[in-house]
Amino acid sequence: MFCPIPLILLVGGLGYVAYATRYNLGSLRSPGIGFFPVLMGVGLVLVAGAILFRQWRWVSTEKDSEAREAAFHDSLGVNKAYAVMSTLVAFAVLHSILGFWISVFGAMLALLRIAGVPNWRGALFGAGITAVISYLVFEFWLGVLFPAGFLR
Amino acid sequence: MGVVENLTAGFFQALTPGNLLFAFLGVALGSLVGVLPGIGPLGAMSLLLCTTFGMSPIHALILFAGIYYGSMYGGSTTSILLNLPGESTSVVTCIDGYRMTQKGRAGAALFIAAAGSFVAGTLSVVGLMLFAPPLAEIALRFGPPEYFSLTAVGLVILTYISSGSKVKAMLMVLLGVAVSTIGMDPVTGDQRFTFGILALSQGVDFIPMAMGLFGIAEVLNVVTKSSEVGIVQSVHLREMLPSRGEIRRSIGPVIRGSLLGFLIGLIPGPAAVISSFTSYAVEKRLSKRKSEFGQGAVEGVAGPEAANNAAAGGAFLPLIALGIPFAPPMALVLAALLIGGILPGPTFIQEHPDMFWTFIASMYIGNLMLLLLNLPLVGLFVSVLRTPTKVLMPVVAVLCLTGVYAVNSSSVDVWVLVIAGMAGYVLRIRGYELAPLVLAVVLGPKVEVYFRQSLFMSDGSLSIFFHRPISLSILLIPIVVIIMRLLVSRVTQTIRGRASAHEESG
């Protein structure tokens, strides 16, 4: 079963090393700001490469890797995972535009439905309660300022 | 002043209403998050970090310490009653704890776990109290080479002791160190890898990263599995007394687990988890009733529960004496202290003896509170588990999103949380451990600073790490461990080979 993580880290590591070499590397006597990142980046590339090589040899000897990969994805309930991830990304994008508490309400509503709360009424009630309690605790009691969004 | 005088003064301070209140809040919250899957002590401490701005540092320290060791107590309750570990530290308790429940000995298992945890927690505080001052004095002689050796060896050991693939753990350490280089260069103050984004100039904060990797990733994990808690067995107080035989069989495992846990707590990484597994293996090996293990052996509950509590206490030693957090929750304790203007390290006990001894005394009190709180209220804590995961997990996710913004009022932190959560979920299901990644983010800047300062000192000679006795001694630790392990496995193989050859010839 092919795992893209070492490949992503290998490519990312190469980019990281290339970017780090733009900084002053200095010398052993006086290491510059790029010295340590280059060392770590090279290590990252080598280790990711080693895992990738080992994985490639293993995958090439495995006959039913595609079937296993499909079973693996099914077992994870990937649709729910994608839905939760999309909700979180939407929150990160929208919280400063819509306002934090409206976004909390929206995110909670979506997450409750994804997690399996069967009806909209229950989900709306849960989302409303969570947003109000969070507001009272964090903004009213602790005095933290959150983005007001378009309500400002 | 001697230890007794200092401790007495500490108790006078710890018994003031304010300190008692924070100790109680800490252990109660710790027990609660220990019971609940998903949020954990790290998430709870991260959420509460924003409240420490208006708190005295000693209150923050008492609160966070209570949450950490309180969660160890809470985790065992669900392991024993439901075969569901609230914390990873209690996974091994499921094996025999749940079997005891099935045999109608749930109350006894809970009592043994709580009493063992109390004894171990108290012994670990004794260890912390006795060893932290001399270790801090030794650490006063440390310079950059010694600190580099210590932090670098810490990361190497973290890789070596990880339960999964060592190479994957090493990859996570390197990734964490690479992430830690984003932001301001710790030596010159120049910007690195910020791509002109002002918000990145302070670097990637450890808190959203840890909350994402542990909190959000756990939410994703639980939501996708859509499992619900089974029927919770109710336990009455009168059923909780173990038999004399069970008490007798638990004494040895508790003492051994306490010592083992405290020592393992000193090493970096998920020490509490490792200590519980190690204790279980040791007890199984030493027991005369090996066949009972896995079938409800009381030693399989007493040893691991004592070990994980002692490890939680031991984890404070490197932080208090050296100023280095070797476990992710300790990084949050460090953050809370820094917010209060306190820098833990070799001079901490000299400069703030009142705070150190009050903290020690509050840990004794907190352990007693946990014992009194957990035994009678076990039913209450377990009833929290009846909250359906379809409600609990969205609440945890939204608390993470809100709490992480509240710490620094930064939208970048929300992005870091979300990205780290998604990455953590994928990494976890692909067999990559997350603790090395988080600790590398915390320790990375320290490793770099000490490394560069050492090279400045030595005019570019790497021999500085080997010429200084303390540094060399620290660097030799993993080499000795690896050689010993190789020797042991070689000897074992030889003995096995001879035994099989003998059997074949016989």
* CB crowding B283-297: b at 16 or more within 10 Å, else e: bbeebeeeebbeebb
Residues B445, B482 within the same domain? no
B351 and B396 in one domain? yes
Evaluate whether residue A144 is within a structural domain: yes
Judged against a pLDDT cut of 80, whether residue B84 lies above it is answered with no
Domain count, chain B: 2
Give me the pLDDT at residue A88, please: 94
Same-domain status, A61 and A83 = no
Same domain, A91 and A38: no
Question: Would you call B181 and A40 a contact, using CB atoms and an 8 Å cutoff?
Answer: yes
B414-430, pLDDT tens digit by residue?
A: 999 999 999 999 998 88
Asked if A147's CB is within 8 angstroms of B411's CB, the reply is yes
Same domain, A43 and A91: no
Contact B406 A78 (CB under 8 A): no
Residue A71 lies in a domain: no
* Contact between chains at A92 and B414 (C-beta distance less than 8 A): yes
Same domain, A60 and A82: no
Residue B105 has pLDDT above 90, yes or no: no
Judge whether residue B406 has pLDDT over 60.
yes
Q: Which residues of chain A have pLDDT under 50?
A: none
Model confidence at B156, in pLDDT bands (50, 70, 90)?
Answer: confident
pLDDT at position B102 is: 82
Contacts of A126 in chain B (CB under 8 A): 391, 394
For residue B163, pLDDT over 70 is answered with no
Q: Which helix (H) or strand (E) holds B144?
A: helix B144-161
Total domains in chain A come to: 2
Let me know whether A43 and A86 are in one domain: no
B459 lies in the same domain as B419: yes
Judged by average pLDDT, the poorest of B5-9, B173-177, B233-237, B341-345 is B233-237
pLDDT averaged over every residue in chain B: 84
Q: Per-residue pLDDT averaged across B303-324, rounded?
A: 89
> Which of B401, B410, B441, B464 is the best mutation test for A, with the most CBs of A within 10 A?
B401
Question: Can you tell me the mean pLDDT for B12-22?
Answer: 92
pLDDT-derived band at B345, boundaries 50, 70, 90: confident
Rounded Cα distance, B144 and B457, in Å? 9
Give one word for B482, left, alpha or beta, with left for phi > 0 and alpha for psi -120 to 50. Answer: alpha
Q: Which of B47, B390, B425, B451 to mutate to test the interface with A (most CBs of A within 10 A)?
A: B390
Q: Give me the domain span that covers residue B392.
A: 3-232+244-467
Does residue B384 carry a pLDDT above 70? yes
Contact A72, B406 (CB under 8 A): no
Q: Do B336 and B484 lie in a common domain? A: no
Claim to verify: residue B323 and residue B359 sit in the same structural domain: yes
B497 and B462 in a single domain? The answer is no
Asked if B406's CB is within 8 angstroms of A37's CB, the reply is no
pTM comes to 0.82
Does B363 map to a domain?
yes
Shared domain for A53 and A103, answered yes or no, is no
Residue B358 has pLDDT above 90, yes or no: yes
Range of the domain at A37: 5-65
> What does the alpha-carbon distance between residue B327 and residue B325 come to, in Å, rounded to a whole number?
6
CB B115, CB B371: distance < 8 Å: yes
Same domain, A86 and A127: yes
Q: How many angstroms separate the CA of residue B19 from the nearest CA in chain A? A: 20
pLDDT recorded at residue B173: 92
Q: Are residues B496 and B438 in the same domain?
A: no
pLDDT at B275 (0 to 100)? 84
Q: What is the pLDDT of residue A38?
A: 94
Instruction: Point out the residue among A36, A44, A92 whose CB comes nearest to the CB of B451.
Output: A36
Q: Using a CB-CB distance cutoff of 8 angstroms, which residues of chain A are in contact with residue B51?
A: 142
Q: Which element (helix H / strand E) includes B184?
A: strand B183-184
For the residues B201-224, what does the mean pLDDT come to? 84
Q: Which of A28, A33, A55, A95 to mutate to test the interface with B (most CBs of B within 10 A)?
A: A33
Which residues of chain A make contact with B393, given a CB cutoff of 8 A?
111, 115
Type and span of the H or E element at A121: helix A120-134
What's the rounded mean pLDDT across residues B295-320?
Answer: 89
* Distance of alpha carbon B306 from alpha carbon B296, whole angstroms: 17
pLDDT for A59 equals: 63
A113 and A58 within one domain: no
Residue A28, domain member (yes or no):
yes
Same domain, B479 and B402: no
User: Higher confidence at residue B118 or residue B237?
Assistant: B118
pLDDT in tens, B226-275: 555 555 566 666 667 788 888 899 999 999 999 988 988 887 767 777 88
Of B178, B399, B432, the CB nearest to A16: B178
Question: Is A72 domain-assigned?
Answer: no
* A73 within a domain of the structure (yes/no): no
Q: Would you tell me the crossing angle of helices B17-35 and B57-82 to the nearest 10 degrees?
A: 30
Residue A70 belongs to a domain: no
